[in-house]
Structure formats: structure tokens, C-alpha cells
Amino acid sequence: EGGFGAVYKGTTRDRKEIAVKKLSARSTQGKKEFMNEVQLVAGVQHRNLVKLLGCCVEGDERLLVYEYLPNRSLDTFLFDLEKRRELDWQTCYNIIIGISRGLLYLHQDSHMRIIHRDIKANNILLDDKLNAKIADFGLARLFLDDETHIQTRVAGTYGYMAPEYAMRGQLSIKADVYSFGVLLLEIIAGRKNTDYNFPQEMQNLLEW
């Protein structure tokens, strides 16, 4: 189950495994966000970004076809006591480096400057060797070369948003860097940014 609908495992005629993301009719991701994800992901290629293989729009049906990543998302490892044991420090380090390389590519090295806007453990997928790949570009924004920041409506996940973005809608690459910092704390601490077990005076990992 993804953020905007169900995700199914499939097999192509040449027996290649794929992941098919079917947007729910109740999804908050509209046609604009769907096309945004298609256009942005199709235009970038990096080993630390999930690979889009195709898409389909027919009536109300909207499908995205991605490479299949057998280990699902990072949160399934981080916040499960049993699976967490598979993440030794070297593996965690490699995951962190992979995410940072993917972000560097989006922000600086790609022919398009892209801000993801929703970096979190759920949107980091892991391949068979636990290499990290950034996924889910439905909220991503394209930046012009001469832009340092823009004013925009707030979208993303609370707890991972930079203060200037969450409160004023001021978006820059620093928003992704902030989200990555929160995710980094989750990887190191092995717990969610918002945890009901925190002391009452502490609301998240940043205050822990």
C-alpha cells in the first residue's frame, strides 16, 4: 500500500518483475500530481532514484510502472524490532550515503533541478542488496537555474518539513536537506520522529 493507492507486484512477458502503483479513486494525488511524477521521474536517471518503466491513463484509471524492489521501504526495517537487526551500522551508512547521492543529483547534478518535498522513510525503497532509492515524486517541484526559493502551497508530511516551509510556504533545496536530517536521526535512533513514548515535554526526535 502506497501513499496514494495500492502497489502490486507484477511480471512482464519477458519475466521481469515490476511494481505497479494504482492510484486510488479516493487518492489526494490528482491528475496534475500524477503527470508531474511521470514527467519528473522519466526525465532523471540515477542509481539512487527509483526507475519509472511506464505509465497508463485510461478514464479514471491511473497506473505507474516501476522497477520492482524486493525489500520494500526503509520504514519496514527501521521501525520493526526484528527486521531492524538486519541494519548493521555499515548498512545504515550505505543507505544514508545512497539517499544523499540521490538528493545531490536532484538538486545539483541533474539537467533539471528538482525538490522532492516529501523525503521520509516510507519514500526510500531498498533493492535486494539494501541499496537506497528515492521514490514517490508526486509532490516534487522543478526549480529554474536562477531560483533560490519560491513561495508555494505547503504539501508534504508534518514532522519532516523545514520550519520556513511549513509556516510560510518558502521552498528551497534546504527543505529536502531538513527532511533528510530528520530521516538521518530516525536511522541513527531507530525510532520515528514522532513517538508517543517521548516524554510529554518533547514532541519529536529534534527535541529528544
Residue pointed to by grid coordinates 525503497: 125
For the chain, the C-alpha Rg in angstroms (whole number) is 17
What's phi and psi for 187, nearest 5 deg?
-65, -45
What is the rounded distance in angstroms from the CA atom of residue 103 to the CA atom of residue 179?
11
Q: Where are the alpha helices (DSSP H) in the chain?
A: 31-42, 75-78, 89-104, 163-168, 173-189
Catalytic residue among 118, 136, 145, 146: 118
C-alpha triplet 92, 179, 141: angle, nearest 5°: 120
Residues 6+ apart with CB under 8 A from 123: 3, 73, 116, 134, 135, 136
Nearest to 139 by CA among 179, 195, 83: 179
**74: nearest Cα among 1, 124, 119:** 124
- And the C-alpha cell for 140? 516534487
Q: What angle do CA 195, 24, 135 make, to 5 degrees?
A: 55
118 part of the active site: yes
Residues annotated as catalytic are: 118
